[in-house]
């Protein structure tokens, strides 16, 4: 009895020591560290051949890995490299060519400008085109392809053509044709862009797609606000004969003409040398193409 | 232990014993792993997969059913006869009024029953996970489960055949080899495209000789809600019956002529 109780005690102590030691290891090594990601198989066909009959489960696993990789790079990685994103999405869609979500989200992950996404617009559109080829009856994929052509490539004419194709498919919403017409008429217009993203926001079922559309709409709001502020700053410069020294002086002289922060609450940056406002680099709404 | 009377009764007695033996060997413990897999999937996938949890739960459930079943079919299947010979427990059995073919069929039926219980419980587990996560218990899934069970039965036949002709280890390797090769039957069929010099007759012989395990794969169709025709399932069932019966007959012939 004594011996067995002693053995049980040793076992309990050993088991209890494991989380304690792990906590020490975590303290020594730091909290989360982004792992060095490695992809051992670069071809979906190879993965398929190695797992006959289990292609779908492998596609699911690669899809989960894609989502985790994208999220991990976006949130934890300092340099936000998305090198493995395209091969991961390609392997996923090769293993399961009917996995619609992988095309839709994969294209967003790839196409959104860095640092929100990988900034690989051409690859995003190519992925969607492959998706449309594999799922020819999906109006959603064609709608997304049209919207991504317009948003990522600035190809209003191509986008309109794809939206018109989507409109002919069963269960396609009535407004696709109207949107296509608007794109043909005013492709470079911010209002048209707002219309595209509003439609996307209204009809998306999946929270991340809705969220992405919302970010685009908030960015358009921020751009409108920045334009209003810059126009006011120009007026003020004409009156003062110099540029306002900082945002505080701007507000004290004119009062807030437009909100001084973007819809996410991040204050706009004021560039005293140019007398202009811009979306802050700290904001999720900032894009590398924004000029100061 | 072995019932006197009709052959069917004797086969039944061996089958019951085999089933009890597999249960005693804790084969059905794999159901615990399956339960853990399904619970974890149900809890986590909604967050991890971006609204693909239903598809992934179905994929995982069906794949686990197949993989766990295959492991049981191969590793228990090859031991059905070999173990009895190694443990010398076969001799007193055969001294009773029990034919070798009856013994073999009883062994097959016993493992088939174990696999049936395994697949049935897993199917219920898959449905429970779907219901617990607010999804529909899709009856179409059964159209993938049934062919999986058929493929497992055919695997047992392959394992039984090899276990009558060779040692336990070699039988396991050969069965695993045949099962894997049978999943590449499309490669064999299209061999001429890769090796244009390969004689067409050889490709055809290989293709028809190898058990075609791709026949039994309806997982993708079912998960995406594609129709699976009853006629297709009937042909696949017939294929499993024909090939399985052929293998069992071959195994019985070898076993009858084997010197023990």
Q: What is the distance between the terminal CA atoms of chain A, rounded to a whole angstrom?
A: 78
- In the predicted structure, residue B143 carries a pLDDT above the cut 80: yes
Weakest-pLDDT range from A156-170, A183-197, B171-185: A183-197
Is the CB of residue B255 less than 8 Å from the CB of residue B162?
no
Which segments within B33-77 are labelled E, that is strand?
none
Check: CB of residue B122 under 8 Å from CB of residue B36.
no
CB atoms within 10 A of CB A223: 18
Q: Which helix (H) or strand (E) element contains residue A271? A: strand A269-271
Residues with Cβ within 8 Å of B57's Cβ and at least 6 positions away in sequence, in order, are B38, B41, B42, B45, B126, B129, B130, B133, B135
**Whole-number mean pLDDT of chain A?**
84
* Set of chain A residues whose Cβ sits within 8 Å of the Cβ of B49: 60, 63-64, 67
**pLDDT grade for A160, boundaries at 50, 70 and 90:** confident
Question: Is residue B202 over pLDDT 90?
Answer: no
Instruction: State the pLDDT confidence band at A174, using cuts at 50, 70 and 90.
Output: confident
pTM, full prediction:
0.74
Instruction: Give the mean model confidence (pLDDT) for residues A170-178.
Output: 83
Distance CA A98, CA B215 (A): 20
Q: Which residues of B touch A57 (CB under 8 A)?
A: 59-60, 63
Residue A262 pLDDT > 60: yes
The verdict on a CB contact (< 8 Å) between B48 and A99 is no
Pairwise pLDDT comparison (A124 vs A187), residue with the higher score: A124
A67 contacts in chain B (CB < 8 Å): 48-50
- List the structure tokens of B154: 């055919």
Interface probe with B: pick from A51, A56, A64, A209, most Cβ of B within 10 Å: A56
CA-wise closest residue to A164 among A175, A153, A154, A155: A175
Contacts of B59 in chain A (CB under 8 A): 56-57, 60
**Number of other residues whose CB lies within 10 A of the CB of residue B97:** 12
pLDDT in tens, A9-50: 988 998 888 888 888 887 877 655 545 566 666 777 888 888
- How confident is the model over A245-263, as a mean pLDDT? 78
Residue B228 has pLDDT above 60, yes or no: yes
Contact A68 B48 (CB under 8 A): yes
Kindly state the tokens that stand for A231.
Answer: 């126009």
Q: What is the pLDDT of residue B73?
A: 93
Taking 80 as the threshold, does the pLDDT of residue B209 lie above it? yes
Query: Whole-angstrom Cα distance, residue A226 to residue A261?
Result: 9
As given in the structure block, the two tokens for residue B140 are 């179409």
| pLDDT value of residue B239 | 95
Q: Average pLDDT of chain B? A: 87
Three-state DSSP class for A270? Answer: strand
Give B158's pLDDT tier (boundaries 50, 70, 90). very high
Pairing between strand A276-278 and A269-271?
antiparallel
- φ, ψ of residue A261 to 5 degrees: the values are -130, 155
Å between B250 CA and nearest CA of chain A: 27
Inter-chain contact B56–A99, Cβ cutoff 8 Å?
Answer: no
How far apart are the C-alpha atoms of B151 and B157, rounded to whole Å? 10
Q: Provide the chain A residues 208-267 that lie in CB contact (below 8 A) with chain B.
A: 208
| pLDDT 10s digits, A184-209 | 766 667 787 788 788 878 877 777 77
Indicate the DSSP class of residue B208: H
Highest mean pLDDT among A147-156, A183-192, B134-143 belongs to: B134-143
Cβ separation B183–A68 shorter than 8 A: no
* Range of weakest confidence among A62-66, A285-289, B5-9, B113-117: A285-289
Average pLDDT value for residue range B114-129: 93
For residue B150 the two structure tokens come to: 């058929």
Gyration radius from chain A CA atoms: 25
Give B4's pLDDT tier (boundaries 50, 70, 90). low
Torsion sign across C-alpha atoms A107, A110, A114, A116? positive
A283 with A264: CB under 8 angstroms?
Answer: yes
ipTM of predicted assembly, 2 dp: 0.74
Cα dist. B66→A143, B59, B76, B144, B178 in Å? 38, 11, 15, 10, 16
Stretch among A59-73, A246-260, B117-131, B217-231 having the lowest mean pLDDT: A246-260
Q: Examine the pLDDT at B171 and tell me if it is beyond 70.
A: yes
pLDDT band at B84 (very low <50, low <70, confident <90, very high): confident
Is B220 within 8 Å of A52 when comparing Cβ atoms?
Answer: no
Rounded CA-CA distance A194/A202 in Å is: 12
């Amino acid at each position: 009895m004594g011996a067995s109780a002693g053995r049980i005690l040793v076992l309990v102590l050993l088991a209890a020591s494991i989380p304690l030691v792990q906590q020490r290891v975590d303290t020594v090594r730091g909290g989360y560290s982004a792992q060095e990601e490695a992809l051992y198989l670069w071809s979906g066909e190879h993965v398929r051949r190695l797992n006959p009959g289990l292609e779908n489960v492998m596609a699911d696993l690669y899809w989960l890995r894609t989502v985790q990789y994208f999220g991990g790079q976006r949130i934890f990685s300092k340099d936000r490299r998305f090198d493995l994103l395209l091969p991961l999405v390609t392997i996923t869609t090769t293993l399961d060519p009917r996995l619609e979500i992988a095309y839709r989200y994969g294209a967003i992950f790839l196409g959104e400008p860095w640092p929100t996404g990988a900034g690989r617009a051409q690859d995003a559109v190519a992925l969607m085109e492959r998706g449309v080829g594999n799922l020819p009856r999906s109006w959603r994929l064609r709608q997304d392809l049209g919207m991504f052509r317009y948003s990522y490539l600035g190809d209003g004419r191509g986008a309109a053509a794809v939206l018109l194709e989507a409109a002919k498919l069963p269960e396609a919403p009535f407004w696709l044709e109207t949107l296509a017409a608007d794109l043909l008429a005013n492709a470079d217009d911010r209002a048209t862009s707002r219309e595209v993203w509003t439609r996307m926001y209204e009809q998306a079922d999946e929270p991340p797609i809705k969220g992405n559309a919302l970010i685009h709409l908030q960015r358009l709001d921020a751009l409108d606000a920045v334009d209003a502020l810059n126009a006011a700053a120009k007026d003020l410069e004409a009156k003062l004969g110099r540029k306002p020294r900082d945002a505080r002086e701007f507000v004290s002289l004119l009062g807030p003409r437009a909100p001084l922060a973007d819809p996410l609450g991040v204050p706009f940056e004021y560039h005293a040398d140019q007398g202009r406002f811009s979306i802050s680099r700290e904001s999720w709404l900032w894009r590398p193409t924004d000029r100061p | 232990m072995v019932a006197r009377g009709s052959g069917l009764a004797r086969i039944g007695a061996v089958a019951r014993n085999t089933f009890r033996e597999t249960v005693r060997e804790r084969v059905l413990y794999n159901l615990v792993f399956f339960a853990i897999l399904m619970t974890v999937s149900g809890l986590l996938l909604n967050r991890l997969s971006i609204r693909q949890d239903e598809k992934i739960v179905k994929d995982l459930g069906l794949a686990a059913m197949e993989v766990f079943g295959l492991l049981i079919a191969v590793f228990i299947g090859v031991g059905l006869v070999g173990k009895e010979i190694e443990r010398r427990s076969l001799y007193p059995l055969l001294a009773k009024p029990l034919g070798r073919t009856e013994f073999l069929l009883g062994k097959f039926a016993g493992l088939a029953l174990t696999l049936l219980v395994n697949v049935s419980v897993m199917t219920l587990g898959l449905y429970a996970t779907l219901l617990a996560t607010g999804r529909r218990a899709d009856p179409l899934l059964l159209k993938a489960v049934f062919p999986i069970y058929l493929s497992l039965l055919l695997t047992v036949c392959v394992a039984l055949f090899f276990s009558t002709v060779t040692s336990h280890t070699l039988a396991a390797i050969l069965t695993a080899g045949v099962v894997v090769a049978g999943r590449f039957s499309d490669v064999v069929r299209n061999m001429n495209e890769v090796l244009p010099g390969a004689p067409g007759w050889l490709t055809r012989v290989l293709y028809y000789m190898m058990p075609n395990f791709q026949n039994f794969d309806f997982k993708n169709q079912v998960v995406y809600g594609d129709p699976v025709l009853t006629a297709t399932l009937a042909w696949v069932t017939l294929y499993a019956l024909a090939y399985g019966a052929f293998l069992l007959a071959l195994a019985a012939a070898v076993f009858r002529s084997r010197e023990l």
